[in-house]
Amino acid sequence: MHTSGKMKDFLRLIRFQNLLIVALTMLAMRYAIIGPILSKTEVFLRESHGYPSYMMLQLSWHDFLLLVLATVFITAGGYVINDYFDIKTDMVNKGRVIVGRAIPRRRALMFHNIFNILGVASGFYVSYRIGYPLAGLMFLLVTGLFYFYSASYKRQFLTGNILVALLTAALPLLVLFYEWAALYNFYSVRAVEMPALWVLLWWICGFSLFAFITTLTREIIKDIEDFKGDSAFGRNTLPVVLGVKTSVVISASLTLLTVILLYLVWFLFIRDLITLAYISVILVIPLLSVLYFLYRGRDKGDYYKASTVMKFVMLGGLIYSFVAGIIMNYNLY
């Protein structure tokens, strides 16, 4: 029973459910978006004697697995160091802490260091495998950003919110970067001409933009929810600096912008009825409920509900990648 409790505390510390979402996001980008698009992209190989074939994923499954593990390890390390620095404010905002109570501070730092070492080492190895060893510096940079976010940036006006949103948006782009490098290494030598992959870039950037806006919105809503603790400990978050009402207006504006962009992207680029139905039911209706909770905003509970619904919207955006993959694979345009 005691061991089971320790394991639960450890899984809470590293936000195990969030780490699963990180891994699922990377899998979705590779197998639900990049793979289907490549399977529709013609290429003429030098040995094919003029007959076209279709592109395929070139990053090996074990290298991709290491890329996922590197990202998950570094993200876990980021969660640990965040809790390490947030003991006092978590007691006010959440009424409970993990580090310092369930898990000693020294052990939390040990976990943080182990996760970072494993993540950076895996990142450098995968970067070496694709022929760009210096790309491993990205993983080292992110470990530093997570540390300084927890120690300082999250207390600064908008800096922490934007940083978290950028790191979330970088996840689909990370998958694309490593796959693109592997594709270039293979097809630049074997193909008569390297195919243009702008459609691939457009799709991945679309998911990144969605991740950025929804994450930024949710981070601001969470700051509104944590206003009491943040103001008590002198944090310069958006609600503390500009006030709760202004922060609500900004969050609502970003939510409305998300709705507009979803329909605009559908109208200009996608135009299939399955996507329209998915956007309307799975994404827009929950976003409208976020607007309702923000407008009502009677207490912390309303902002918690808005934040929770926004998290499901983000998950809905991720699940759409699988829907899009099915649409592309079966030509359901």
Q: What is the DSSP string of 93-111?
A: HTS--SBTTTB-HHHHHHH
| 97 — pLDDT class (breaks 50, 70, 90) | confident
Q: Where does residue 15 fall: left (phi above 0), alpha (psi -120 to 50 degrees), or beta otherwise?
A: left
CB 169, CB 201: distance < 8 Å: no
CB 239, CB 324: distance < 8 Å: no
Mean pLDDT of the residues in the chain: 94
Nearest to 183 by CA among 13, 64, 315: 64
Residue 196: exposed, middle, or buried by beta-carbon count in 10 A (0-12, 13-18, 19+)?
Answer: exposed
* Structure confidence at residue 90 (pLDDT): 64
Determine the average pLDDT of the residues in 219-233. 91
| 94 — pLDDT class (breaks 50, 70, 90) | low
| 80 — pLDDT class (breaks 50, 70, 90) | very high
Determine the average pLDDT of the residues in 91-99. 72
Cα–Cα distance, 170 to 258 (Å, whole number): 18
Determine the average pLDDT of the residues in 50-73. 96
Tens digit of each residue's pLDDT (9 = 90 or more) over 107-150 = 999 999 999 999 999 999 999 999 999 999 999 999 999 999 99
CB 167, CB 142: distance < 8 Å: yes
Nearest to 122 by CA among 66, 192, 68, 200: 66
Higher pLDDT, 257 or 155: 257
Cα–Cα distance, 164 to 162 (Å, whole number): 6
Residues 285, 287, 293, 294: is their CA dihedral positive or negative?
Answer: negative
Assigned token pair, 133? 């060893």
| 2 — pLDDT class (breaks 50, 70, 90) | low
Is the pLDDT reported for residue 226 higher than 60?
yes
| 155 — pLDDT class (breaks 50, 70, 90) | confident
Cα–Cα distance, 255 to 260 (Å, whole number): 9
Determine the average pLDDT of the residues in 46-71. 94
> In sequence order, which ranges of 130-197 are alpha helices (DSSP H)?
137-151, 159-190
* Structure confidence at residue 230 (pLDDT): 85
Query: Please, what is the end-to-end C-alpha distance for the chain in angstroms?
Result: 53
Determine the average pLDDT of the residues in 249-261. 98
| 95 — pLDDT class (breaks 50, 70, 90) | low
Tens digit of each residue's pLDDT (9 = 90 or more) over 260-292 = 999 999 999 999 999 999 999 999 999 999 999
Cα–Cα distance, 86 to 77 (Å, whole number): 14
- pLDDT above 70 covers what percent of the chain? 98
Torsion of CA 140, 143, 147, 152, to 10 degrees: 70
* Structure confidence at residue 100 (pLDDT): 80
Determine the average pLDDT of the residues in 180-195. 93
Total domains, the chain:
1
| 46 — pLDDT class (breaks 50, 70, 90) | confident
Give the least confident one: 35-49, 57-71, 85-99, 159-173.
85-99
CB 28, CB 324: distance < 8 Å: no
Determine the average pLDDT of the residues in 44-56. 89
Determine the average pLDDT of the residues in 33-41. 97
Domain encompassing residue 27: 2-329
Cα–Cα distance, 66 to 118 (Å, whole number): 10
pTM, two decimals, is 0.95
Is the pLDDT reported for residue 153 higher than 60?
yes
Q: Which residues have C-beta within 8 Å of that of residue 135, sequence separation ≥ 6?
A: 123, 127, 177, 178, 181
Nearest to 293 by CA among 275, 305, 278, 284: 305
* Structure confidence at residue 1 (pLDDT): 44
- pLDDT above 90 covers what percent of the chain? 83
Residues 203, 209, 215, 217: is their CA dihedral positive or negative?
Answer: negative
Cα–Cα distance, 293 to 332 (Å, whole number): 36
Cα–Cα distance, 72 to 78 (Å, whole number): 10
Q: For the chain, what is the radius of gyration of the CA atoms? A: 22
